[in-house]
Homo-oligomer: A and B are copies of this chain.
Amino acid sequence: MFDTVSEADFKSAMKNLAAGVTLITSVSRTQRGGMTATAVCSLSAAPAQLVVCVNRQNATHQMIMESRKFCVNVLAADQSEVAHRFSNPHARTERFEHGQWSVLKTGAPVLMDALVAFDCELGEAIDSGTHSIFVGRVIGVHAQEQCSPLLYYRSGYAGITAHA
């Protein structure tokens, strides 16, 4: 078994993987929480499942483990401000003050003007070093779709363009 590459080399290389920007939200008792994330991907369509990778130090990780519910809100191109708010540790109290928030089935916060939202029950939770892989069983979706996506690439937000 070889050693893995250094943290610096991995981070530098991973910047080249463009991804849609999401907010992963959860609720525990009456407290809402969430984080900005790009480590989200489809797992299977039948059953409808997705995967998110979350740092175990993140407050949202604990909230998901306790409540076993979360929502993946895929952001639209004009929502970089909310993405920034959910990644700024100093803006915790303001996170849910802007935007139209609701719930679907689980009770996890759903941003109604997100591009699409996946309301999930937690399936498997696989610990792997600093992070956990959470499998989300998708039990509700809310799609808005009248806009283009917000992307993250090389440490900055970006938009999409039709392919030349």
Chain A residues with CB under 8 Å of chain B are: 1-7, 9-14, 16-20, 22, 38-51, 53, 74, 77, 80, 105, 115-116, 118, 121, 123-124, 126, 128-131, 133, 135, 137-141, 143, 145, 149-151, 153, 156-164
**Which residue in B10, B145, B162 is a CB contact (below 8 Å) of A158?**
B162
Let me know if B138 and A128 touch, CB within 8 A.
no
Also in contact, A124 and B121, with CB within 8 A (given A46-B7, A160-B151): no
Copies in the complex: 2
Contact residues of A: prevailing secondary structure: strand
Query: Within the assembled complex, what's the spacing in Å between the Cα atoms of A39 and B4?
Result: 21
- What is the CA–CA distance of A49 and B129 in the complex, to the nearest angstrom? 9
Q: Evaluate contact between A80 and B163: CB separation under 8 angstroms.
A: yes
